[in-house]
């Protein structure tokens, strides 16, 4: 890992092998400036109350991400897909109500951000990477929920991660 040299935002770069996840999708995608974004906690509540226990071969300790995938027509529609996911040892056949995702091997730039101001901090990250001309793959990003953080407390932190373009 390498600490970021930017004077305004801290970040680190981490190389990952291929990783596998399983979970659920926000129905019909999310419109960023709508009530949809405020409904993601409901998706996570459903994930933990109804879905998480049905996912086999989760890694230990459990690791969760909120994955955002931007389709090719995102500029026109403004809509993206959002997934509440648990990391698994392997990819497995999807079962009713569960989706699986594979995150490719590569170097990811990760920004520690505050959970209680996640939307604003994510926008600050995107502004920063544009200002600093950091080349990232614009098709995905994810919220990396950290083991040991209590997301019911305002000071909780997560990592907001993006695949570096050279590895896309």
Domain ranges of the chain: 2-167
Q: What is the number of other CB atoms lying within 10 angstroms of the CB of residue 131?
A: 11
Q: Say whether 12 sits in a helix, a strand or coil.
A: strand
pTM exceeds 0.95 for this model: no
Each residue's pLDDT tens digit, 47-76: 999 999 999 899 999 999 999 998 888 778
Say yes or no to pLDDT of 2 above 80: no
Which secondary-structure segment (H or E) carries 38? none
User: How do residues 105-149 score in pLDDT, each as one tens digit?
Assistant: 999 999 999 999 988 999 999 999 999 999 999 899 999 999 999
Percent of the chain with pLDDT over 90: 65
**What distance in Å separates the CA atoms of residue 4 and residue 17, rounded to the nearest whole number?**
21
What is the homologous superfamily of the domain 2-167 according to CATH?
Regulatory factor, effector binding domain (3.20.80.10)
Q: Residue 22 and residue 83: Cα distance in Å, rounded? A: 9
Model confidence at 157: pLDDT above 70:
yes
């Amino acid at each position: 890992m390498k600490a970021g040299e930017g004077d305004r935002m801290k970040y680190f770069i981490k190389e990952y092998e291929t990783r596998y996840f399983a979970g659920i999708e926000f129905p019909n995608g999310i419109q960023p400036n709508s009530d949809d974004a405020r409904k993601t906690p409901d998706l996570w509540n459903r994930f933990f109350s109804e879905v998480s226990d049905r996912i086999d071969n989760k890694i230990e300790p459990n690791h969760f991400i909120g994955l955002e995938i931007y389709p090719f027509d995102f500029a026109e529609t403004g809509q993206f897909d959002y997934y509440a996911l648990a990391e698994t040892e392997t990819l497995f056949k999807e079962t009713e109500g569960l989706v699986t995702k594979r995150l490719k091997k590569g170097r990811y730039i990760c920004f520690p951000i505050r959970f209680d101001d996640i939307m604003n901090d994510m926008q600050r990250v995107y502004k920063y990477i544009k200002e600093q001309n950091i080349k990232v793959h614009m098709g995905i990003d994810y919220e990396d929920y950290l083991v040991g953080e209590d997301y019911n407390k305002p000071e909780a932190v997560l990592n907001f991660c993006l695949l570096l373009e050279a590895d896309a």
